[in-house]
Structure 1
Amino acid sequence: MSKNGYVNFMSMNSHNTEKKLPFRPVALGIPERLMPVVLDCARQLEGEGVRGKALRRLFVRLAQDPKSFADHPVLGGLAGMLGGESSPGAAFSVTEVPWRAWGEDLDPKAVQQLRDGCGLPVAVSGALMPDAHVGYGLPIGGVLAVTEAVIPYGVGMDIACRMKMSVFAVSPDLVDTNGDELARAIEQETCFGVGGQFKVRKDHAVMHEDWGFSPVPRRMHDTAWAQLGTSGSGNHFVEWGVLDVPRAMPGLPEGTYLALMSHSGSRGTGGEVAKYYSALARRLHPELPRALGHLAWLGLDTDEGREYWAAMELMGRYSAANHALIHAAVAGRLGLTPLFGIENHHNFAWREIHDGREVIVHRKGATPAGRDVFGIIPGTMVDPAFVVEGLGNPMSLCSAAHGAGRVMSRKEALARFRRSDLEHVLKERSVRLLSGGLDEVPMAYKDIREVMAAQADLVRIRGTFLPRIVKMAK
């Protein structure tokens, strides 16, 4: 964007002439294929004295309600192309950008969701991870790069869902010799589930930041504070286990360690942010077919887009605070001080450079895997998690899987398995489950080893964590 607020846009006509506009047409939902028409209309309107903010407002109204411009002397033709005489979604034209998938036997519905995302007018490229399964908007395991826009449901409902591991320089045999003590520390210092909160509130610097810039954080501030340091439901967990490091990592020598690992996010507040801004994006993009409504985006050159971005980043800091408090409380109860720590988001959007171009990369259920970037990819309550080092593969937009990935829905898992099935596999793997639902049985997930094998060109395994004492929502 230039200093005067205009966007430089290279037109797609045969002359390839440059035209400055005070708005980004694709951010308003106008398909890129119509850019030559947009530029021609803008020239005519500017010749009649319509410039700057007035020109932008006119095109915003056109994108939102093309029918009302059917008889406009300049914009009438463009309105017809945008569906002025058709039903919502008729103007949406899919030109799929390049994308690539890892893994075999991927869910066709998840594949289609990624393809839908790659057909958006703001899309640049995409990738699908081997743990992929269906989600809202983008699939879980979906990675999508776009230009100067953010898709709320491309980030996900649980904004900044996060992994954290603390490693302790004590004997891992403590999971056997002092298992009851380790279990009590988790039981007494954690809180799980929808609406869960501590009787005595915790505190963290993030709660003293500005939460008033957006109506959702402002409304949810008290609830977020009440839930500070707690974990969600579903596949969120806190667990003790044994970490094997066969080769020294930066800050952690080779060896076998006791480790504490957690998986949780931004709680109900993150979900409210996602729902509010996704609904707003849908209203701003009536041209999207109904089936693609969850892929609606917000331009980052708009107030709405900048507001969502700030809320997303706040939820990232809030999620990190939750994990920090969980680890401090559980380890502190036992008088343990971590020797090493590692953590990462997997529901977030980042501003990055790929192929020499600045893009917004959405990783929904995908782990950042830039070269030399460390992260955590968990398995199930009985299967290993892996500390990984990213290989920076540009084909995946420097991303990797975020876990094993479901092979069946929660409803199907509850219908197919009994408590005895879960108890059998827990005993077989020597795992103590303090609490957890049948919808999280290991059999409802892919084999994490196969997932890791499918992405050997994305990450290098540097450590293996075996869970031994696990707590999830009841």
Structure 2
Amino acid sequence: MPYQELTFAQAAPVLTWANHDLGYAETAMAKNVASLPFVYKHVALMPDVHLGKGALVGSVIATQDAIIPAAVGVDIGCGMGAMQLPFKADRLEGKLKKIRQDIEAAIPVGFNQNKDVAKEVYNWQGWQDFKALHPGVQHLDTKAMAQLGSLGGGNHFIEVCLDTENNVWLMLHSGSRNIGNMLAQNHIKTARHLSKLAEIKLPDPDLAHFVAHTPEFDRYWHDLQWAQDYARMNREVMMGRFKAIVEQHLGGGKVTKPLLSVNCHHNYAEQETHYGESVYVTRKGAVRAQTNDYGIIPGSMGAKSYIVKGKGNAASYCSCSHGAGRAMSRTKAKKAFSLDDLIAQTEGVECRKDWGVLDEIPGAYKSIETVMANQADLVEVVATLKQVVCVKG
């Protein structure tokens, strides 16, 4: 679907791939961001767009000489990892429950962390730079090390999937855990304080920002890059453990070479070149989709997911959606659905089917098929996956 252009007085245009599916609150939030004087050319909204804090989840914001920490969000570097292994579906028969149990035993979920620090975690080069991070997180060094290689909660997950050719895939979704959250909160607080001191009038306090070439900007940018690296490493550590578990069950423990591996952020910011100019690109719930970039677009638990390759669409700042996108809040989902609904909607998936994950029921999300149809000009589908095991945070 081609995008729709929304125009506002005294604001940059907003290009949306959401198939006209924007309510009053979403439109107002998009206008607030687009009205900032440092926004470059336009704001791009992906087809899974929904309400966030300050900026819409599913938005791509290019800026010149400024960055908005709340637009990046508190789970800095949150993203996806996926890996195709050289196994077929028949190897999984009768093993799904034990695989799930082994995953849950090896990878901490929710607020849990690793009891012992693995060698690969201890040797991560990022620790060399920890003392240079914001003073407000210096007491979290031990916790950050223990949480590297843990899933977290909310909509984070680990899945064994099958594609349409019955190939086995591993997929997971996680971010920068508590350390990323606390770094973000400290910098957001600073940005708000600076805005008040300078008496800057903002349409939303969560759009407080840092100006390039200032000490506050430089400190945030440094910590942002560190947290993004931490999040990527977090996924690598978990994927290594995950891969070893599946190899044990399907191949007797023999180490295999992945046929394809993808590790991509969808809550982050980078400096990129667009329309011939260097800009800061914030993807809040969006994946980079430059020409031939591999990306991962998951559906909800019980729905399809997609491995994609970018088409380099300039209007989207070479981006695509990061998932199906919520259709209702967690609170509303728990009121609208029952455990019987959850059991029915996750039929055929080895996963938890209890009150604790009811807010993640597929019915609380938009149709992933519709989302994919709306971004055919942004990505091409490489593989279509369906989970058979799902471990939730």
TM-score by length of 2: 0.89
Provide the secondary structure at the position in 2 that maps to 1:211. helix
- State how 1:422-437 maps to structure 2 within 5 Å: 422-427=342-347, 430-434=348-352, 437=357
* Number of equivalenced pairs: 367
The aligned counterpart of 1:219 is 139
| Aligned counterpart for 1:123 among listed residues 39, 45, 66 | 39
Structure 2 unpaired stretches of 5+: 1-8
Question: Identity rate of aligned residues, in percent?
Answer: 34
TM superposition shift of 1:188:
1.5
Provide the secondary structure at the position in 2 that maps to 1:242. strand
Conservation of the 8 A alpha-carbon contact between 2:159 and 2:391: yes
The aligned counterpart of 1:192 is 109
Provide the secondary structure at the position in 2 that maps to 1:173. helix
The aligned counterpart of 1:174 is 91
CA distance in 1, matches of 2:60, 2:136: 26
- State how 1:21-60 maps to structure 2 within 5 Å: none
TM superposition shift of 1:338:
4.1
Conservation of the 8 A alpha-carbon contact between 1:134 and 1:140: yes
CA distance in 2, matches of 1:347, 1:206: 22
The aligned counterpart of 1:419 is 339
The aligned counterpart of 1:298 is 210
The aligned counterpart of 2:6 is none
Provide the secondary structure at the position in 2 that maps to 1:470. strand
The aligned counterpart of 1:31 is none
Provide the secondary structure at the position in 2 that maps to 1:232. coil
- State how 1:199-218 maps to structure 2 within 5 Å: 199-202=115-118, 203-204=120-121, 205-213=124-132, 214-218=134-138
Matched, 1:96 2:16: no
Conservation of the 8 A alpha-carbon contact between 2:82 and 2:262: yes
Structure 1 unpaired stretches of 5+: 1-93, 245-254
TM superposition shift of 1:185:
2.6
The aligned counterpart of 2:68 is 151
1:93-135 Cα shifts (integer Å, max 9, x gaps):
x831122001232243223212211111211121111111111
TM superposition shift of 1:290:
6.3
Matched, 1:444 2:359: no
Matched, 1:112 2:32: no
The aligned counterpart of 1:8 is none
Matched, 1:472 2:388: no
Conservation of the 8 A alpha-carbon contact between 1:166 and 1:341: yes
CA distance in 1, matches of 2:376, 2:146: 41
Provide the secondary structure at the position in 1 that maps to 2:239. helix
1:255-278 Cα shifts (integer Å, max 9, x gaps):
542111000000111111111111
Provide the secondary structure at the position in 1 that maps to 2:59. strand
CA distance in 2, matches of 1:144, 1:422: 35
1:2-49 Cα shifts (integer Å, max 9, x gaps):
xxxxxxxxxxxxxxxxxxxxxxxxxxxxxxxxxxxxxxxxxxxxxxxx
Moved over 4 A (4+): 288-291
CA distance in 2, matches of 1:345, 1:297: 22
TM superposition shift of 1:280:
0.7
| Aligned counterpart for 1:270 among listed residues 159, 170, 180 | 180
Matched, 1:367 2:367: no
The aligned counterpart of 1:13 is none
CA distance in 2, matches of 1:313, 1:278: 16
The aligned counterpart of 2:4 is none
CA distance in 2, matches of 1:285, 1:274: 16
What is the RMSD computed on CA atoms of the aligned residues? 1.7
1:60-93 Cα shifts (integer Å, max 9, x gaps):
xxxxxxxxxxxxxxxxxxxxxxxxxxxxxxxxxx
1:225-256 Cα shifts (integer Å, max 9, x gaps):
12110011110000101134xxxxxxxxxx54
Conservation of the 8 A alpha-carbon contact between 1:240 and 1:467: yes
CA distance in 2, matches of 1:207, 1:314: 7
1:308-329 Cα shifts (integer Å, max 9, x gaps):
1111111111111111111111
The aligned counterpart of 1:134 is 51
Conservation of the 8 A alpha-carbon contact between 2:47 and 2:371: yes
Provide the secondary structure at the position in 2 that maps to 1:235. coil
The aligned counterpart of 1:285 is 195
Matched, 1:354 2:274: yes
The aligned amino acid for 2:318 is C
